Amino acid sequence: MPLGLVGTAYCELNNQKMKPNSLSEAIIREQLQSIQDPYLGLDLIAAKIVKKIDLSDTKVSIVLKFGYPVQEAHPVIQTISKILEPLLGDVALQITSSWKVNPHAAQNGLKPVANIKNIIAVASGKGGVGKSTTAINLALGISVLGARVGLLDADIYGPSQPHMLGTKEKPALREDKRLEPIVKYDLQTMSMGYLVDDGPMVWRGPMVSTALQQLLNETAWDNLDYLIVDLPPGTGDIQLTLAQKIPVAAAVIVTTPQEVALLDAKKALMMFKKLGISIVGIIENMSTHICTECGHHEAIFGVGGGEKLATEFEIPLLAKLPLDSRIQQQSDAGRPSIVEEPEGSIAQLYHELALQVTAKLSLQARDYTVASPRLVE
Ligand code: ADP
């Protein structure tokens, strides 16, 4: 039925009875302004997600474009339908959504690496807090959203990603002398663990720096939206190389809630801040223990540590991930939780984390030195 003829159907708008035929672009815009994107923390108009509103006699069309990967089930798309449908009477609502990942500016004006739009570093102050596990599941979570994702294991001394990915494949050397990344679970991956046999790795500081840069620059990454870099723990040579030579669009810090872990996480945060790397947020891992027998949640490492750190540094707490034996078992079996139980509750938490990280990064300044969306050498 044409918009102007929906005379008999009345509906609620701001608690006032009004005819749908009084619908206008301004009213729709006003409604969209009342909807928050939960990952960006902004309304749809302020976030510049709404690209077009079209009204015809029979249809309202809304075109949305996100700066981070979203799927049809995105809560914003569902909320728009819920809020607008009662206002439309018989008029159809069409929501078209798309997304495009832009390259975002890195620290100190460092130039982007060919074929990588954004590098996201996953760091921690201490070892054993679950940084590598989180990095791999974050990478997989972003990939499931549809983006092109790579994972670089920057732990030159003790690479763990090959084990967690369940692969020992050797990367092929291409004619141009670059390494072909190992593609596993749709991720393009590279690790020192692929190149050297098991056993202790003895490196001098400068060699580690060079090795990291080589792994990054001499891998033939194929048009990545995001490269997740799994850093070793602490604030040593590798972190310094990363800060000085590698264009990092954003870093996330993984910590557990105990005071000892938080103290080290704070040091890592301070280091990144000082070196000009943008920190998109904190991830609290092993937040509560979930009992496999009864499902009871217990905060064995204390409560509120992640929140405290986030408040102190005025950055978001992106996720609180449980201490769950399935995460450990799946990861040790080379099948990360998102792969092993893609519809499970743990995978859901990592999907949310992926949205949080990519959405927060999309709010940062863009790198306009990259003329085309896909960098080609
Ligand atoms: P890091 O990179 O900080 O040294 P890892 O990711 O290697 O830590 O994790 C250390 C151990 O803890 C691994 O055995 C891993 O499977 C396990 N682990 C990590 N996160 C969790 C979690 N949320 N629940 C249960 N086990 C976890």
The pLDDT > 90 percentage for the chain reads 69
Mutate to test the pocket of ligand 1, among 300, 328, 332 (most ligand atoms within 8 A of CB): 328
Query: Between 45 and 19, whose confidence is greater?
Result: 45
For residue range 257-304, list pLDDT tens digits in order. 988 888 999 999 999 999 999 999 999 999 887 777 787 787 777 778
The per-residue pLDDT for 370 is: 60
Burial class (CB in 10 A: 0-12, 13-18, 19+), 299: middle
Structure token pair of residue 191: 């690790």
> Could you tell me if 96 and 102 are in contact, meaning their C-beta atoms sit under 8 angstroms apart?
no
The per-residue pLDDT for 3 is: 32
Q: CATH for 4-99?
A: 3.30.300
Q: In this predicted structure, which of 44-58, 257-271, 290-304, 346-360 has the lowest mean pLDDT?
A: 290-304
Mutate to test the pocket of ligand 1, among 129, 131, 133 (most ligand atoms within 8 A of CB): 133
Q: Is the CB of 128 under 6 A from ligand 1?
A: yes
Helix (H, G, I), strand (E, B) or coil at 299: coil
The per-residue pLDDT for 293 is: 77
- Using 50, 70 and 90 to split pLDDT, how confident is the model at 324? very high
Helix and strand numbers, DSSP H then E, in the chain = 12, 17
Domain ranges across the chain: 4-99, 107-362
CA Rg value for the chain: 23
Q: Is the CB of 91 under 6 A from ligand 1?
A: no
For residue range 206-262, list pLDDT tens digits in order. 788 899 999 999 999 999 999 999 999 988 888 888 889 999 999 999 999 988 888
**Fold held by 107-362:** Rossmann fold (3.40.50)
pTM over 0.85: yes
Distance 181 CA to ligand 1 centre (A): 24
The per-residue pLDDT for 7 is: 24
